[in-house]
Structure 1
Amino acid sequence: MEGTVFSLIPPLIMLFLVLVTRKVLLSLGAGIIAGALFMEGFNPAGALNVIWISFSEIFVVEGEIQTGSLYLLFFLLFLGIMGAFMSESGGTVAFGHWASSRVKTRKGAQFVPAILGLIIFIDDYFNSLAVGQVSRPLTDRYSVSRAKLAYIIDSTSAPVTVLSPVSSWGAYIIGLIGSILATHQLSSLGGLEAFIQMIPMNFYAVAALLLVFLSVYFKLDMGPMKIHENRAEQTGALIGFSRENVQEDVTKDAVDQNDGRLHHLFTPIVVLLTGTVITMIWTGISNTSDPITVLSIFSNTDVNLSLFVAGLLSVLTAMLLYIRQKQRKMSVHQVLMSGIRSMMPAIYILIFAWMLGTVIGLLETGEYLAGLVQSADFNVSFLPLIIFVISGIMAFATGTSWGTFGMMLPIAGDIAVNTEVSMLLPSMAAVLAGSVFGDHCSPISDTTILSSTGAGANHIDHVLTQLPYALLSAISALIGYAILGWTASWVIALAATLIILSGSVILLNRLIKSAIL
C-alpha cells in the first residue's frame, strides 16, 4: 500500500467524513485508523501498534523527548490562560471601549486583523494566535463572525510568512534553496537572492493577501461565509449553530471591571511579542556556529522554544496584573482552569492531526504524488503550473506545507535544471504557492487549526468558509502560471493573476448583491 494510489484513501476518508459529519475528531480518528489498517494489511493488532506509535512519537522518539511538540502544546495552554486573565481583568472590555471610539465601522474592524496579519510576519503559529487574541474583542463588538475572523487570520499568516525572508518559514526555505543550488553547482545565485527573486512568482500567496483586503472592502461573503456573516449581523451569533471543537470563549462572561484598563490587555501581548522575538534571536545566535547574520539567526532559531518562553512570561505578567486588582470575581486558580479548558479542543485536534500526518507519512502519500511529477511527460514551459497543482494536492493530503517544501523543492529543482534552467525559480516558487494553497484547504493543517483556535471559531466552519476564497486565489494563480508558460514573463503573469482576481471579486460582488449567488 505504501507509495501507491491506495495511500490516498485514508486522507480521502477523513475528508469525506469531515464534509458529511462535520465532526473533526471523529473524521481525523477514522483517517488514522484507516491508515493504520492499510499499513498493517488490515491486521488489528498491527494497526493498534501503528496508532500507538503515531501518538507516542509526538512526545518521545527513540528515548528522546520531543520538546518542540511539548513547547507548542504548552504555548497553546499559556495563550488560553493569558486570554482568561486579560478577560477577567476587564482588559478586553476596556479595549472594546477604546477601539469603538476609533474604529467606527464593521469594515474597519475587519481591516484591523488584516493589517496586523501583515505586520506580524515572524512566524505563522504566532501570527495566527496573537492576531486572534488582539482582534477578537473588536470584531466581536461589531458582530463579525468568527468564521470571517478565522479566514482573515489564516489567509494572512501563512502567505505573509512564506513571502518574508526574515521569518521561520523564510529561513527554512532559503536553506533548502541554497542546498539545491549547491547540489546543481549554480554558484552564480545564492539562497537568499533566489528567494527574493521568487517572491513575485509566488502567485497564490500574493493573490491570497490581496483577496483578504478586497473581500473586506467589497464585503465579499461567498457561499457558507455569507450564512455566517448574515447570522452574525442579524442575530449576534458569532460562532453558528455548532460549538463543537470551539475554543471556549473566555470573554463571553467578561465583566466591565471598574479598574480594568487597556494595559491589562496590551502589556501581556507586548511581553508576548517582544519575548518571542528576543528569544528567537537568542536561540538563533546560540545555535549558529557560522558567522552570525540575520539569515543565519532565523535559520537556526528554535521557534517553539521561543513561543514557550514568551508565553510563560506573558502569563506571569497577566496574572500579576490581575492579582494587583482590587475587584476580582474569580480566584487565580479559577482563571487558570478556565484558560486551560478554553484550549483543550484545539489541543485535541492538533494531536489527532499530528497522528494522521505520521500515518500518512508512513504510507508515503507525499512520495507517491511527487513520483507522478517526475514520471510525467509534459511541456517544460508549463512545469510551474504542474508543480503548483501537485504541491497543492500534496499539502492538502498531508496537512503540511513544510513537508511539501522538503519533498517538492528538490524535485522541482532537479527537473528544471535537467530540462530548462530558466524554469528553476518559477518552479520552486510554484512549490511554495501550491503548498500554501493546499495548507489553506486542509482540515489537518496545523496552521488552519491554530487560525480557527485564535479566532475562537468552529474548526470545520473555518475550513469550509475559507475554501471558496482559497479556490478563487488558486484559480487566479493557476491562470497566472499558464500565462507564464506561454509568455515566459513573470511580470505579465503576475499582473494577469491580480487583474483576474480583482475582476472576479468585482463580478462576484455584483452577482451576490443581485441575489444571483
Structure 2
Amino acid sequence: METSVLSLIPPILALVMVVLTRRVLLSLGVGIIVGALMLNGYNPIDALANIYAIVTGIIFDYGDVDIVTFASVTSAILESGFTINTWEFYIVLFLLLLGMLAALVTRSGGSRAFGEWAMKRVKTRVGAQLFAIALGFIIFIDDYFNSLTVGNVSRPLTDRHRVSRAKLAYIVDSTAAPMCVISPVSSWGAYIIAIIAGILSTYSITEYGALEAFMLMIPMNIYALVALAMVIIVAWFNLDFGAMKVHERRAIETGELVDSSAGAIPGSQDELEASDNGKVGDLVWPIIALIVGTVFFMILTGIQGTEGQATLLTIFENTDVSASLVYGGLFGLLVALLLNMTKQNNGTGLVKSLGIGMKSMLPAIYILFFAWTIISIISDLGTGAYLASLVDGSIHPMFLPVILFVIAGFAAFSTGTSWGTFGLLLPIAGEMASVIDISMLLPMLAAVLAGSIFGDHCSPISDTTILSSTGAGSHHIDHVMTQLPYALIAAGISMMSYLVLGATTSVFLGVVTALILLVLTVFVLKRMQSKEA
C-alpha cells in the first residue's frame, strides 16, 4: 500500500475511541480491523487472515509467507516446528513471573511489613513520591524492568500515604524512558549509540565517536530532562491539576486510590490473604534477587553476543534483554518461593497464590497483544514513513530541531513505539543534516530522541505506558489521561527551547530557556492552585 495520509486513520481512530469510550481493548480492536481492511483492499476474509498472521507471528517465528491465508500461515507454523518468537514470548513470560513474585511477596506479608517499616521512616506523601522517583532514577537498565519493578516496590508505601495509583503510574512512566534514553549504560543507550555509529560512518564524521556524540546529546535531549525535573517538582509542590487533581483529592479525602466507578482494577491481587508475620526481607530479598539476576544475565548474554573484545558499551549493545528479564524473574521468584516455604504462613495457599499472580497479569498481556497487533498493521500501512516524509529540504535549519521533535512525537504517539521511531527518524535526521547543515546533526538527533519519548508518554498503545499502569496498579486509561497534561507542558517547554537552540546553535541557551520556562510554569501553576484553594 502506498504511504499516504490515510495511513493515519487506524491509529487516530483507536486513540480517539480510547478517549471517548475508555475501553482500551475495544478501541484497539476497531483500529486493528480498520487497518487490516485498508491493507487488504477492504476484503474481510483477507483482513482476518492478515490479523491471524500477525497474532500468530507474535507467538511463533515462522518466517515469511508469500501469500497470507489462514492455511499458508498455519502450514508455515507447522513447518517451523512451532518455533517460539522469543522476544514477545519472553516479555509475556516475564510478566507472568513478576505477577507470581508479587503475589508471593504479598502472601508472605512482605508488602505489609515494608509498608509499615517505610511509614515509620517516610512520614509524608511527598517523601513517598520522592522515594518512588529515586527508585526510578536508580533502576535505569531497561524501561520494561523499571516500569514494573518501581511500581511494585513503591506501591505499599504510596498506598499507605494515600498517593493515588494514577500519580504513582505518572511517576513510574516519567522516570523510566527519560532515564533510559540519557543513560549510555542501558538497553536504550546501546541501541541508540549503535544507530549513531552507523550515521557517523555513513557521512564520514570523525570529530567524535558514537559514545561521545551520545554524551554530547544528553543536554540537548530537552524533553527527557524537563520530564525528569517536572516529576520531582510535581511531587515536591503537589502540583496536581486536571484529571490528576481529581484522583489525588479522592485519595487524600477518602483513601480511595483508584476510581471505583471505573470498576475494579484489571489484574488486582486484592483477593490474596497476607500472612500476619511478614518481614521487610520478604519483599526486599526477592526484589534484590530480581534486580541482581537481571543485571547479571544482561551482562552475561551481552558478553556471549559480543564478537571480539567486550566493553561495557558493546555488552549492553548485544545483550538479550527479554531473556535476561526472564532469568532474573525466575531467580527472584525462586527466592520468594524459598521465603514462603521456610516459614509458617496463614495466608492464601501457595499454589492458589501463584495462580492469582499469573491471573493478575492477564489484562496487561491482553492489551500488549492488541497493541503489538495494531503496531504491526500501522507499520505495514507506512504511518511512520508518511510522517517522516513530511520533512523536506526546503526548511530553514533553525526550525529543524523543533520540527523533528514534533514529527517524532506524533510518530511515536501514533505507532506506540519510541524504538521504532528512533530507527526510522534518526537516519533521516542524519541525512537532512548532511545536506542542509552538518553542524545541526547532534541537535537534530537529540530532538528525534526527545520527541519519541514525548509521543511514547502520550500514547495509550505504548508498551511502556501499558506496563507503567500495570506496575502501579492503575487503570490504564486513567494513567494516560492524568499524565497527558504534564507531558504536553514538558513538550511545550521543549519546543520553545529547541527554537532557541536552532536559532543560536547554543546548547547552553537552549537549556537555560527550558529552565526559565519550567520555573515560570511552576510559578503560574502554583498561583492557579492557590486561587482554587
Matched, 1:221 2:234: no
Taking the aligned partners of 2:304 and 2:29, their CA distance within structure 1 comes to 39
Please state how far the C-alpha of 1:513 moved relative to its aligned partner: 2.4
Contact residue 132 and residue 455 of structure 1 kept, 8 A: yes
Q: Using the alignment, how far apart are the partners of 1:490 and 1:508 within structure 2?
A: 27
CA contact (8 A) 2:240 2:248 kept: yes
Q: How far, CA to CA, are the matches of 1:328 and 1:307 in structure 2?
A: 31
2:111/2:283 contact within 8 Å kept: yes
Q: Distance in 2 between matches of 1:120 and 1:173?
A: 19
Alignment-derived partner of residue 284 in structure 1: 302
1:376 CA drift (Å): 5.5
Aligned partner of residue 179 in structure 1, secondary structure: helix
1:253-277 deviation line (CA, Å, top 9, x unaligned): 554x342111110110000000000
What is the SS of the residue equivalent to 1:65?
coil
Q: What value does the CA root-mean-square deviation take over the aligned residues?
A: 1.3
Residue 510 (str. 1) matches residue 527 (str. 2):
yes
1:88 counterpart = 2:111: no
Residue in structure 2 matching 1:418, options 414, 429, 435:
435
Match of 2:369 in 1: 351
Q: Counterpart in 2 of 1:316?
A: 334
> Match for residue 192 of structure 2?
173
**CA-to-partner distance for each residue in 1:218-265, whole Å, 9 max, x for gaps?**
10112000000011111111111355683433257554x342111110
Residue 118 (structure 1) shift: 0.5
Contact persistence 1:273–1:310 (CA under 8 A): yes
Shift of residue 65, structure 1, vs aligned partner: 2.3
| Structure 2 Cα separation of the partners of residues 279 and 191 of structure 1 | 25
Q: Does 1:108 align with 2:127?
A: yes
Q: How does 1:462-477 map to 2 (within 5 A)?
A: 462-477=479-494
Residue of 417, 421, 426 corresponding to 1:409:
426
Is the counterpart of residue 381 in structure 1 residue 381 in structure 2?
no
Shift, 1:415, TM fit:
0.4
CA distance 1:418–1:216, change in 2 (3 Å): same
Q: Which whole-Å CA distance do the structure 2 matches of 1:103 and 1:217 have between them? A: 14
Does residue 274 of the first structure (1) align with residue 319 of the second (2)?
no
Which residue type is aligned with residue 365 of structure 2? I
In structure 2, the partner of 1:294 is 312
Where 1:514 maps in the other structure, the secondary structure is helix
Q: Which residue of 1 aligns with 2:507?
A: 490
Cα distance change on mapping 1:236 and 1:326 into 2, 3 Å: same
User: What letter is aligned with 2:3?
Assistant: G
- Structure 1 position 49, deviation (Å): 1.0
2:321 corresponds in structure 1 to 303
CA distance in 1, matches of 2:467, 2:393: 36
Aligned residue identity for 2:353: V
CA distance in 2, matches of 1:36, 1:114: 40
List per-residue Cα deviations over 1:119-149 (Å, max 9, x = no partner).
1110000000000111000000011000000
Q: Which moved more, 1:381-390 or 1:428-437?
A: 381-390
Aligned partners of 1:394, 1:55: CA distance in 2, in Å? Answer: 23
Question: Kindly, what percent of the aligned residue pairs are identical?
Answer: 53
Deviations 1:339-394 (A, max 9, x none): 01111110000110000000001101001111111x36210122111110100000
Residues 111 and 145 of structure 1, relative CA distance in 2, 3 Å threshold: same
Counterpart AA for 1:57 = G
Q: What is the CA-CA distance between 1:494 and the residue it aligns to?
A: 0.8
Cα distance in 2, alignment partners of residues 444 and 239 from structure 1:
21
Equivalent positions of 1:129-148 (< 5 A) are 129-148=148-167
Unpaired segments ≥5 residues, structure 1: none
Structure-2 separation of matches of 1:245 and 1:34: 30
Distance (whole Å) between structure 2 residues aligned to residue 258 and residue 234 of structure 1 = 28
Aligned residues: 514
Q: Deviations over 1:291-332 (max 9, x none)?
A: 110000000000100000010111121112112221233221
Partner of residue 74 from structure 1, selected from 87, 93, 100: 93
Cα distance in structure 2, aligned partners of 1:242 and 1:314: 35
Please state whether the residue corresponding to 2:241 is helix, strand or coil. Answer: coil
Q: Residues 447-505 of structure 1, C-alpha deviation per residue, up to 9 Å, x if partnerless? A: 00000000000000000000000001000000000111222211111111122012102
TM-score for the superposition, normalised by structure 2: 0.95
Q: Aligned AA for 1:431?
A: V
Match for residue 250 of structure 2? 231
Number of the residue aligned with 2:56: 56
Partner of 1:8: 8
AA aligned to 1:30 is V
Cα distance in structure 1, aligned partners of 2:304 and 2:406: 39
Secondary structure at 1:3 match in 2: coil
Partners in 2 of 1:332 and 1:316 — Cα distance? 13
Deviates more, 1:506-515 or 1:146-155: 506-515
Q: What's the counterpart of residue 40 of structure 2?
A: 40
Distance 1:163 1:118 in 2: 11
Q: Distance in 2 between matches of 1:181 and 1:422?
A: 13
C-alpha distance 194-242 of structure 1, shift in aligned 2 (>3 A): farther
